[in-house]
Chain A
Amino acid sequence: MLLALGALFHWLPLWRRENQYFGVTTPAGFERTPEGRRALRRFRIWLWLGTAVAIMLTAAATEAGWRPLAPAGTLVQTITVIAAFAVVHRQLTPYAIEPQPRTASLDPDRERLPGGLAAAMIPVAILAAAAIYVATHWELLPDRIPVHWGLDGRPNGWADRTPRGVAGPLVVGFMLWGVMLGSAIAILKGSPRPSGESADWTRRFRRANLRLLMALVWTMPLLFAGIAVRPVFEAQSITIPVWLITVAPLVAILAYTIPIIRLSRETGSGGDSTPDRCWYWGQFYYNRADPALMVEKRFGVGYTLNFANPVSWLFLAIPVAVVFGVRWLR
């Protein structure tokens, strides 16, 4: 897992707009200059050193049976990556160029969610139908209900046959539906629309991100509805393989993420026109003068929050609620 993440971080700095490099607005092709190459090399050396330490920590924690220390490896790797990016970002600041002036279309806002907002309510109906189905077949439920599985397909987390335990997966599915739909709406309404020289690239990037989120709006509730009804089906000798339940979100994530990565490697994407001085460590956007809630990421593909917008803190609170939801489920 840590190795796979290491490989992802190895390439991540190259998946960005053409005029953005380590969170700095630079001329196109800067990554091919000696300074650009040196910067990437430095980042990768720190990344792999951090990953090596993380792997050793995890191995030692597993060997000694210190379960609470197991996530320390992931934490070390994440902190190393954030710090390495921030250091390289600071070193590249002298090479920054002025961002392009912001442009805006005077067309009225007629952009819609892929598939439409009304269709996005159907997954909630599926969750509700699953809840009704489970409630009406309560007596078929076993005393312990599997709610989490390992990579080998064997259950490693259970909930009791109580209203809370049974409804847990459905509640988590509903919360994830809300997070995904909320993020899509935030991008649609709270991020700058495509305009200017790279409008075509921005339009395609924006649509690709919206399509990914809407795919998750559909598949996440399906996944959790499947988990909720599975024990009732099994009691009636109908087995739903776990891989079948989990494959839908995985396929959706892969199928819709690959086009975004491809776009991030295209030329002609220009810069994002946000001021460099508002990007702390090259990764966190804080601009009081900008009313945008979401802006394109400078490290990684997709969108990030403008932390100066008070609504962004509400957005941060939602994933915390989901995490607590998962704990409550257990």
Chain B
Amino acid sequence: MPGPTIRIDPRAQAPAYRQVVDQIRTLIVEGALGPGAELPSVRRLATDLGVHFNTVAEAYRTLAEGGWLEVSHGRAARVRERSSAPKLEKQTERRFRERLRHLVAEMRAEGFTAAQIADELAAAASHRGGSL
């Protein structure tokens, strides 16, 4: 069975490395990539995505710094075991609340109703995937 995939959208506002970081982190959080799961090499993933090696190397480094990946020279990058969720700080909470506000405003502007937004958020929070 084919494993999880990620995609790079050249039209997206986020830079390519950020798209890689966000998608791999989402797959780890949702359990599609379990602890110990081996990722393709930087060279392999860059070739598959058609992006520069540095883009993928930077993404792996960012994920390693965030405690999501184990990266060491000459060995495949692996998903790190996270024993417990990190302690949530007030500042982080505020930052995410602000991002959520902007996202909700954008969704309302695109025609989503409040109920639809609530449903999508609840689905995303429980890793079920929404109706989108």
Contacts and interface: CB of A to CB of B under 8 A. Distances in A.
Interface of A: 98, 101-109, 190-193, 195-196, 199, 273-275, 287, 289-292
A108 B39 contact: yes
A304 to B, nearest CB: 15
Given A104-B45, A106-B40, A291 B52 contact: yes
A273 B41 CA distance: 21
A80 B81 CA distance: 61
A104 B40 CA distance: 10
B111 interface: no
B93 interface: no
Given A195-B5, A196-B5, A105 B48 contact: yes
Given A108-B76, A109-B41, A102 B8 contact: yes
Given A289-B50, A291-B52, A292-B50, A109 B44 contact: yes
Nearest to A104: B48
Given A106-B24, A106-B33, A291 B3 contact: no
A179 B68 CA distance: 42
Given A289-B52, A292-B47, 10 more contacts: A102-B7, A102-B51, A103-B5, A103-B6, A104-B5, A105-B2, A106-B40, A108-B38, A196-B7, A291-B47
Nearest to A203: B2
Given A101-B10, A106-B24, A108-B39, A190 B47 contact: yes
Contact of A291 (B38, B39, B43): B43
A289 to B, nearest CB: 6
B22 interface: no
Contact of A289 (B6, B33, B44, B51): B51
Nearest to B32: A106
A289 B46 CA distance: 10
A195 B48 contact: yes
Report the 3 A-B pairs with minimum CB-CB distance, sorted nearest first: A104-B48, A107-B3, A103-B7
18 contacts: A98-B11, A101-B8, A102-B8, A102-B50, A103-B5, A104-B49, A105-B2, A105-B4, A105-B48, A106-B4, A106-B5, A106-B6, A106-B24, A106-B33, A108-B38, A109-B41, A196-B5, A273-B50
Contacts of A102: 7-8, 48-51
A54 to B, nearest CB: 38
Contacts of B38: 108
Interface residues of B, number: 29
B50 A107 contact: no
Interface of B: 2-11, 24, 27, 33, 38-41, 43-53, 76
A105 B5 CA distance: 4
Contacts of A101: 7-10
A184 to B, nearest CB: 16
A106 B39 CA distance: 6
Nearest to B45: A104
A273 B9 CA distance: 11
Nearest to A107: B3
A193 B44 CA distance: 9
B3 A106 contact: yes
Contacts of B41: 108-109
Nearest to B33: A106
Contacts of A292: 47, 50
B67 to A, nearest CB: 18
B2 A199 contact: yes
Contacts of A103: 5-8, 49
Nearest to B42: A291
Contacts of A196: 5, 7
